[in-house]
Amino acid sequence: MTARGCFISFEGIDGSGKSTQARMLADHLRAQGTDVILTREPGGSPGAEQIRKLLLEGATDRWSAETEILLFTAARRDHLERVIDPALAAGKVVICDRFADSTRMYQGIRGAGLRDLVDRLHAMLIEREPDMTVLVDMEPETGLERALARAGGEARFETFGAELQTRLRAGFLELAATAPERIMVIDGDRPAAEVAADIAARVEARLP
Ligand code: TMP
């Protein structure tokens, strides 16, 4: 496990139910007396939450892919320094709704050379990988319907459409296949309580 705590990220396409599942896992572990920090990206620290607003609000073409990568990485660095690393050093379980895999997918697939840029910046400024990643897998059509129903003011990415969600889903599954020791794929197209029980069992089996 990382430092003395354990770092768990949740990933998935928009509307996959991963935020609900991250919360349910946090509640489950807390009920057993585990000290859990539930956080999210982009955001999770005051500075990174300000960057989140810049990233998620406004026109779809507000930022180039390169600028977006810099902003996501800046937000992640602040979140890591101020929230994630101190919590891990204190022995806590950190559950993070999205982390670097989201940048690898959402920004990395937008053009030639971008995945490499994401990976190089990650190597320079972030380095840390989660001890475990829960990939909540979901049909893109179902996910998009759910995401659009509750998008509100943060709709920049969700307006990208079904074709993008399909590519993202395939990308996440490919990524999981390259890192099976870190990323567990969970079928999210089931009742939330069933998905949560599955996740809790698989995470607990690997917690110290
Ligand atoms: P959320 O819906 O999980 O709160 O995430 C907000 C949006 O931000 C979502 O559409 C995915 C996007 N995103 C990226 O494009 N790159 C990233 O690195 C992260 C963390 C999120």
In the chain, the domains with their CATH numbers are: 6-204 (3.40.50.300)
Q: State whether the beta carbon of 103 lies less than 6 angstroms from ligand 1.
A: yes
Percent of residues in the chain assigned helix, strand, coil, to nearest 5 = 55, 15, 30
Helix extents (H) in the chain: 18-31, 46-56, 65-79, 85-89, 100-102, 114-125, 140-149, 162-178, 192-204
Give me ligand 1 centre to Cα 40, in Å.
9
pTM, whole model, 2 decimals? 0.95
Give me ligand 1 centre to Cα 192, in Å.
21
Residue of 60, 62, 106 with the most ligand 1 atoms within 8 Å of its CB, for mutation: 106
Residue of 21, 41, 60, 98 with the most ligand 1 atoms within 8 Å of its CB, for mutation: 98
- Residue for token pair 């937008």: 110
Q: State whether the beta carbon of 165 lies less than 6 angstroms from ligand 1.
A: no
Q: State whether the beta carbon of 63 lies less than 6 angstroms from ligand 1.
A: no
CA nearest ligand 1 atom 1, residue: 14
Q: How far apart are CA 138 and CA 140, in angstroms?
A: 6
Q: State whether the beta carbon of 131 lies less than 6 angstroms from ligand 1.
A: no
Digit-by-digit pLDDT tens for the chain (208 residues) are: 444 899 999 999 999 999 999 999 999 999 999 999 999 999 999 999 999 999 999 988 899 999 999 999 999 999 999 999 999 999 999 999 999 999 999 999 999 999 999 999 999 999 999 999 999 999 999 888 888 887 676 667 666 688 999 999 999 999 999 999 999 999 999 999 999 999 999 999 999 7
Identify whether the C-beta of residue 120 lies closer than 8 Å to the C-beta of residue 71.
no
- Residue for token pair 């005051």: 46
Give me ligand 1 centre to Cα 36, in Å.
22
Identify whether the C-beta of residue 9 lies closer than 8 Å to the C-beta of residue 135.
no
Give me ligand 1 centre to Cα 145, in Å.
16
pLDDT at 159 (0 to 100): 61
Q: How many CB atoms lie within 10 A of CB 207?
A: 14
Identify the CA nearest to 179 among candidates 19, 36, 5, 11: 11
Q: State whether the beta carbon of 14 lies less than 6 angstroms from ligand 1.
A: yes
- The pairing of strands 183-187 and 93-97 is unpaired
Identify the CA nearest to 93 among candidates 48, 31, 173, 41: 31
pLDDT at 46 (0 to 100): 98
Q: State whether the beta carbon of 101 lies less than 6 angstroms from ligand 1.
A: no
Q: How many CB atoms lie within 10 A of CB 123?
A: 9
